[in-house]
C-alpha cells in the first residue's frame, strides 16, 4: 500500500479559510498521512491589508506558514484547496497561483491528482456553490480527479449540505464542530480516492 501525500493549500484574508485548512491538516494527520499546509501568496498591497484590522492581524499571525510552490503540487497525490469567494469566483491570489502551473500541466504532472475544495462567503448564498464549481472547472482542464463530497456522509447535511465541498459564512462564530466534522469527512474521502488511484495507477 503506497503512502498518500496531501497538500492543503489555502488563501485566507481574515482567517476563515485558514481555520478550514487547519482542520483539514489535522484530519489528515490523524490518519497518518504526510501533509503540507501551505498558504497562497498575498498579492494585495500593504496599504489594502493595513486598512482592514482583521486582515492585518491574520497576515501577521500567519507569517510563518510556508507559501505554496509548484513543487508542492508535484509532490502531493491529493490537494485540499480552500479559498473565499470573490463575486462567485476564486480570489485573484488563488488564480494567480493556478496561472503559474502551465509547465506542470503541459508535462501531464497534474493529471490524476485528486482534489477537493472548501470555501466561504460573507453571505449565506454569496458564492458558496459557484466558487467551488469554478475551481473544479479548472481541475477538469488539469485532468485532475474531483473528490466532491456529494451526500456521502451525514456530516455533510449537518454542515449545510453543500455537495461540492464544505462551505461557510465567513466569520469565526460560524466555524463550529459541525463544520469541523464535515471537513474531516471531506479529507477522508479525498484521501481514500487518492489511495485507490495511486495504488491502481502504479
Q: How far is it, in rounded angstroms, from Cα 110 to Cα 94? A: 17
Identity of the residue, 10 or 164, whose beta carbon is nearer to a second copy in the bound complex: 164
Residue 146, classed as helix, strand or coil, is: strand
Q: Which stretch binds a second copy (CB under 8 A): 3-11, 62-70, 161-169, 170-178?
A: 161-169
Q: Is 17 an interacting residue with respect to a second copy (CB under 8 A)?
A: no
- Shortest reach from residue 54's CB to a second copy, in Å: 14
CA 181 to chain CA centroid, nearest Å: 15
For the chain, helix, strand, coil in percent to 5 are 45, 15, 35
Q: Is 41 an interacting residue with respect to a second copy (CB under 8 A)?
A: no
Q: How far is it, in rounded angstroms, from Cα 200 to Cα 167? A: 31
CA-nearest of 103, 104, 94 to 73 is 104
* Among residues 164, 175, 184, 187, the one that binds a second copy under rule CB under 8 A: 164
- Shortest reach from residue 159's CB to a second copy, in Å: 9
Identify any residues that bridge with 78 across adjacent strands, giving them in sequence order.
Answer: 6, 114
Number of residues forming the site for a second copy (CB under 8 A): 58
* Among residues 2, 111, 172, 176, the one that binds a second copy under rule CB under 8 A: 111
Q: How far is it, in rounded angstroms, from Cα 25 to Cα 129? A: 23
Site for a second copy in 121-140 (CB under 8 A): 121-130, 133-134, 136-138, 140
CA-nearest of 188, 133, 134, 124 to 159 is 124
* Among residues 33, 40, 148, 191, the one that binds a second copy under rule CB under 8 A: 148
Residue 48, classed as helix, strand or coil, is: helix
Q: Is 200 an interacting residue with respect to a second copy (CB under 8 A)?
A: yes
What residues make contact with a second copy under the rule CB under 8 A? 43, 86-92, 95-96, 98-99, 105, 108, 111, 121-130, 133-134, 136-138, 140-152, 157, 160-164, 167, 192-193, 195-197, 199-201
Amino acid at each position: 500500500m503506497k503512502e498518500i501525500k496531501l497538500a492543503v493549500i489555502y488563501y485566507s484574508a481574515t482567517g476563515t479559510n485558514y481555520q478550514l485548512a487547519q482542520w483539514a491538516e489535522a484530519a489528515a494527520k490523524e490518519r497518518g498521512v504526510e501533509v503540507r499546509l501551505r498558504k497562497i501568496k498575498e498579492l494585495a498591497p500593504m496599504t489594502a491589508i493595513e486598512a482592514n484590522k482583521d486582515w492585518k492581524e491574520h497576515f501577521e499571525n500567519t507569517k510563518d506558514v510556508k507559501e505554496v510552490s509548484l513543487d508542492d503540487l508535484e509532490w502531493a497525490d491529493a490537494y485540499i484547496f480552500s479559498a473565499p469567494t470573490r463575486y462567485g469566483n476564486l480570489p485573484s491570489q488563488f488564480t494567480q497561483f493556478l496561472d503559474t502551473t502551465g509547465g506542470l500541466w503541459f508535462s501531464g504532472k497534474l493529471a490524476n491528482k485528486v482534489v477537493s475544495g472548501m470555501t466561504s462567503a460573507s453571505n449565506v448564498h454569496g458564492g458558496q456553490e459557484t466558487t467551488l464549481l469554478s475551481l473544479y472547472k479548472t481541475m477538469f482542464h488539469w485532468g485532475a480527479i474531483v473528490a466532491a463530497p456529494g451526500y456521502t456522509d451525514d456530516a455533510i447535511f449537518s454542515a449545510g449540505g453543500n455537495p461540492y465541498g464544505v462551505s461557510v459564512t465567513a466569520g469565526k462564530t460560524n466555524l463550529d464542530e459541525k463544520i469541523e466534522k464535515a471537513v474531516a469527512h471531506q479529507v477522508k474521502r479525498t484521501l481514500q480516492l487518492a489511495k485507490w488511484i495511486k495504488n491502481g495507477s502504479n
